[in-house]
Amino acid sequence: MSSAIANSIQLLMEVSSIISKVIEFNEKVFGIEQRNGIVRIKIHRDVLPYVAQKLATTKGIYMRTMMASDERDLEGVYRLYYLFGIDREHINIVLEVAVPQEDPKVPTIVDIIKAADWYELEAHDMLGIEFIDRRLYRLVLPEDWPEKVYPLRKEYSVQDLMKLYRPKAVEYAKEIGAENIVVIPIGPYHPALHEPEFFEVYVSGERVIDAKYVGFMVHRGIEKLGENMKYDQVPFLAERICGICGFVHSTSYCQAVESALNTDVPERAQFIRSIILEIERIHSHLLWFGVALHLLGYDTGFMHSWRIREQVMVLAELLTGSRKTYGINVVGGVRRDIDNDKIRKAIEVLKNVEDEFKKLVEISINIPQVIARLKGTGVLPLGEAIALSLVGPTARGSGLDRDVRRDYPYAAYRYISFRVPTYSEGDNLARTLVRVDEVFESINMLYQLLDKVPSGEIRVESWTVEPYRLGVGSVEAPRGEVIHVLLTGRYSPYRWRVRAPTYQNLPAVSIMLKGVDLADVPLTIASIDPCFSCTDRAIVIDIGRSVIKTIPIEFLSLKGSKAIR
Amino acid sequence: MAFIETISIGISMLLYIFFPPLLDGIERKIKAKIQTRYGPPTVFQTWYDIIKLISKELKIPPTLQYGVFLLTLAFSFVIVVLYLLSYIPVSLNIYMLTIVIILIVSLHSILAFVSILSSNPFSIIGIFRGLTIDIVNEMGFLTSILVYYLTIKTFNPSIKSFLLLLFSLLFVFIVSYVGSKRLPYDLHEAEPELASGSVIEFSGPILALYLYLHLIDRYTMVALPIAIGVAIGLQLSPLISLLLIHVIAVVIYVFFGVIAVLLGRSRIDIAVKTLMLIYLIIILLWIVVKLI
């Protein structure tokens, strides 16, 4: 009890020290409010760079995400929410900046906080907010997107946007005289990760001099879709953001809503969420480990890693009913319970996975080519990791000790003890070892969680919506922290902002790539465990009728297989 | 030439022609077993692949027009090499051996040259990687065959001779392994980095021909030292010699396949340094023992 009081006092001191830094700006600070570990500070746009500077130069504070929202219906302004975190105190500081609709301009903070770069570009693309004193270019929207159409503005519905813009595939097909073509929008290619990504790598001999990333080829407009769905429908959409770690998104979304509405989630549900989250981390890291070994040419390790992973997938199916995309999260709890028989089976599987993975790691890491190509390649210094506000194993591999499970405890993590593996070397080997250690740590956490599952309800009976409340939900995904920031609406989220860890980590890849050998490029890119988009679709164009049909790529694949038979 | 010798050479040539894709099928099966996969449905899969590729339409990229001619030339060289290899147990001398070595090195150069014709950057990077390793390995190949030939020719039952034989065998088979372009030295293709590298522009019959030549080359690189050893060291009848050569070659080929499964892919700088160091050490050891 006494430690809780001491913590609260320390927290208050920390908050007041932050506020004292901000309060200097006096008449430009419109209000400060504190609730549920979130300190909301409303400031005038003119002082944003100065306040950001104050926060950025305070040790232990980093920019976690930024949400731009169209609130013209409410207060006649656009609003920017800059979310900063103080890990050691478990506090989020939200700087709220109102941007008048008649003059949507705001000073940039990129020169102060490098991590703000993509957020500002995205806000410019999606809401038309001008950031002063920086170069603005399209990041998210395609090149041929109509001018002055900002998809996240409330006047555009999803249907309007679909009428306003379709890829000009038919016109192009006619132009090239194709009668019947199949367009596979996998974009610029590379066989390494089997996802749409494009790195322009400039090499001298085989040495990389510079690298440029071009992304956002499959922007699915999920945030906009979520604004038209009921609160309990969104978790199913959120889970489809990622094909590997979707559960972190539904959990993060639910936590954001629960935090905004002050909903108490039953302890049993919190344990179930943590259990599934850790299972997801194990299978994701095993997948990554296999891919990394494949990129190093050690396919035997790749196959065995995925063989071991298969047991974890079967375990996930046992506990949730699905190998992936579990669909058990709802606001206020979970939809599916686990019983003692499942707990017993889960422990058996985990013991087996632990033994087999230990053997695999011992063998793989000692393969001469594997160790030679991991060690000292793709180095990311700690300073860069801090400047870019990196997260997850990418940050921890450079010595930046940051983990949401410990720093902003959620679900059942406050009830168990665990270690956060950190390595200071910053190379590909360090990032690999962080993930390897995390697999064993997750197994250890699962033993504790499965042992301590309390009895009781798994979801709250009902909850009521209070509109225009701000909620933050963050979860430590296998790739780093996922943050969902949400402004509640009456029936649906008014604004829902999703920030996946790859968004934060990708800018670091160019730094890692400089000076590496071409042979190590795929591995270095993979070392942040990037997750782009996993839901590509093929478009079949019927020129005669000017119709575009979207069909799953698997269908084409099956068709191809049948043709061969 | 005696009837039995002619028959032996004929059978041996047929085996040299038929075995490589079959052995590749066996290697793929073993590899799959080690990796807990099913692998290809049958050990004849590589043969089926080649036959299927041959049946595809012929697409020649503009820059590869002369490549077809070069591949055909390479195929002629291969036939001559196979004939000479089959002839070694019947009669072996240093001149014939020299011709075999020249033909094999020429074959490697022609295969490399085909890829250089491509303007694809992956192909160019891949083939230059291949050439870099080849420069080291071809020198190793010439030296190892010479050292091995001398060792067998001067072999007598003494510890010194056994040591020399051991070093020369080690040398010749390491060279043979590297020449087979298996992991960790498949840098010319390196799928995750170069998307098939030097063979990226080959398809259909051209890919089939390249693949077939590559597999025969792999097998001959294994069989050559065995043929020399059996011909000089054992002096059996030609038919038995030829069968023995193929049996040992098959065993070593499969053994190479197993080694490859257990290794990762090297990097060009590491690969060159490692090979030069290994070859230098073996040569020095051989010279030291020889001089003692």
- For B230-261, write each residue's pLDDT tens digit: 998 887 888 899 899 999 999 999 999 999 99
Instruction: Please report residues of B whose CB lies closer than 8 A to that of A192.
Output: 192-193
Res. A541 pLDDT band, cuts 50 70 90: very low
Q: Which residues contact A386 (CB under 8 A, 6 or more apart)?
A: A62, A400
Question: H-helix or E-strand containing B77?
Answer: helix B65-87
Tell me what the mean pLDDT of segment B257-278 comes to.
93
* Segment B34-77, tens digit of pLDDT: 999 999 999 999 999 999 999 998 888 887 888 888 999 999 99
Report chain A residues whose CB lies below 8 A from the CB of B193.
192, 295, 518-519, 521-522
Give the per-residue pLDDT at A211.
Answer: 80
pLDDT in tens, A258-273: 999 999 999 999 999 9
Residue type, A62: Y
Mean pLDDT of chain A: 85
Phi-psi region of A133 (alpha: psi -120 to 50; beta: other; left: phi over 0): left
Q: Quick one: pLDDT at residue A554? A: 46
Q: What pairs with residue A484 in β-bridges?
A: A473, A498
Q: Does A547 touch chain B (CB under 8 A)?
A: no
Name every chain A residue with its beta carbon within 8 A of the beta carbon of B133: none
CA distance A332 to A302: 39
Give the residue, B24 or A530, on which the prediction is more confident: B24
Mean pLDDT confidence for B85-89? 91
User: Which candidate from B195, B263, B268 shows the least CB-CB separation from A367?
Assistant: B263
**A171-185, B159-173, B261-275: lowest mean pLDDT where?**
A171-185
Residue B114 main-chain phi, psi, to 5 deg: -60, -45
* Residue A325 to residue A18: CA distance in whole angstroms: 40
Interface test with B, best of A206, A294, A311, A432 (most B CBs within 10 A): A206
Chain B positions touching A520 (Cβ under 8 A) are 267
CA nearest B190: which of A501, A298, A375, A258?
A298
Residues of chain B contacting residue A191, judged by C-beta atoms under 8 Å apart = 191-192, 195
Contact assignment for A191 to B184 by CB distance below 8 Å: no
Confidence of residue A37 (pLDDT cuts 50, 70, 90): confident
Number of independent structural domains in chain B? 1
User: Nearest CA to CA, how far is B150 from chain A (Å)?
Assistant: 33
Distance (Å) from the C-alpha of residue A382 to the closest C-alpha of chain B?
A: 27
With a CB cutoff of 8 Å and minimum separation 6, the contacts of B80 are B103
CB contact residues (below 8 A), chain A span 240-269, against chain B: none
For residue B125, the chain A residue with the least C-alpha distance is: A206
pLDDT at A203: 76
Percent of chain B at pLDDT > 70 equals 99
**CB contact A365 to B (< 8 Å):** no
Q: How close does chain A come to B133, measured CA to CA in Å?
A: 15
Spatial separation of the C-alpha atoms in residues B173 and B175, rounded to whole Å: 5
pLDDT at B162: 94
Q: Which amino acid is at B53?
A: L
What mean pLDDT comes out for the span B271-279?
94
Is residue A512 within 8 Å of A380, Cβ to Cβ?
yes
What tens digit of pLDDT does each residue of A285-306 get? 999 999 999 989 899 999 999 9
Which chain A residue lies closest to B270 (C-alpha atoms)? A372
Residue carrying the six token digits 């006096």:
A26
Confidence of residue A551 (pLDDT cuts 50, 70, 90): very low
Check pLDDT > 90 for residue B78. Answer: yes
Note down the domain range covering B170. 3-291
Query: What's the rounded Cα separation, in Å, for the pair A79 and A332?
Result: 28
State CA A284 to chain mean position distance: 14
Least CB–CB distance from A367: residue in B34, B195, B264: B264
Distance, in Å, from the CA atom of B75 to the CA atom of A488, rounded to the nearest integer, reads 72
Peptide bond into B184 cis (omega under 30): yes
N-terminal to C-terminal alpha carbon distance within chain B:
43
In a mutagenesis test of the A interface, which of B267, B268, B270, B278 is the best target, namely the one with the most A β-carbons within 10 Å?
B267
| Among candidates A299, A369, A370 on the partner chain, residue whose Cβ is nearest the Cβ of B35 | A299
Chain B partners within 8 Å of A303 (Cβ):
35-37
Phi, psi (degrees; rounded to nearest 5) at A301: -65, -40
Q: Is the CB of B34 less than 8 angstroms away from the CB of A295?
A: no
Of A369, A517, A521, the CB nearest to B269: A517
User: Secondary structure of B122-161 in the HEC alphabet?
Assistant: HHHHHHHHHHHHHHHHHHHHHHHHHHHHHHHHCCCCCHHH
**What pLDDT was estimated at residue A188?**
45
Q: Is B195–A370 a contact, with Cβ atoms under 8 angstroms apart?
A: no
pLDDT of residue A1: 41
| pLDDT tens digits along A109-149 | 999 999 999 999 999 999 999 999 999 988 888 878 888 89
Asked if A207 has any chain B CB less than 8 Å from its own CB, the reply is: no
How many whole angstroms separate alpha carbon A527 and alpha carbon A384? 16
* Partners of A329 in beta bridges: A334
Query: What is the reported pLDDT for A532?
Result: 64
Least confident residue range of A353-357, A425-429, B65-69, B255-259: B65-69
Distance CA A298, CA A304 (A): 11
Test the B interface: residue of A194, A300, A310, A362 with most B CBs within 10 Å: A300
A297, B262: Cβ pair inside 8 Å? no
State how far residue A426 is from chain B, nearest Cα, in angstroms: 20
Instruction: Find the residue in A nearest to B263 (Cα).
Output: A298
- The tens digit of pLDDT for each residue in B129-145 reads 999 999 999 999 999 99
Residue A264 confidence (pLDDT): 92
Q: Where is pLDDT greater, at A201 or A516? A: A516
Which residue of B lies nearest to A300 if distances are taken between CA atoms? Answer: B35
Q: How many CB pairs under 8 A join A and B?
A: 75
- Domain annotation for chain A: domains and CATH numbers: 2-140 (3.30.460.80), 222-526 (1.10.645.10)
Model ipTM value: 0.86
Measured in angstroms, the CA of B263 and the nearest CA of chain A are apart by: 6
Q: Which residue of B has its CA nearest to A304?
A: B35
**By the 8 A CB rule, do B151 and A258 touch?**
no
d(CA A158, CA B263): 52
pLDDT for the residue numbered A537: 33
The CA distance from A543 to A174, in Å, is 7
Contacts of A135 (CB under 8 A, 6+ apart): none
Average pLDDT of the residues in B120-129: 85
Question: And the tokens for A481?
Answer: 């922290």
Q: Give me the residue from B192, B262, B269 closest to A522, CB to CB.
A: B192
Task: Say whether A192 and B193 touch across the interface (CB within 8 A).
Answer: yes
pLDDT of residue A563: 43
Name chain B contacts of A301, Cβ cutoff 8 Å. Answer: 264
Which residues, listed in sequence order, are joined to residue B283 by a DSSP beta bridge?
none
Q: Residue holding tokens 């780093």? A: A480
Cα four-point dihedral sign A360, A362, A363, A366: positive
Name residues whose C-beta falls within 8 Å of residue B196's C-beta, 6 or more positions apart in sequence.
Answer: B122, B126, B189
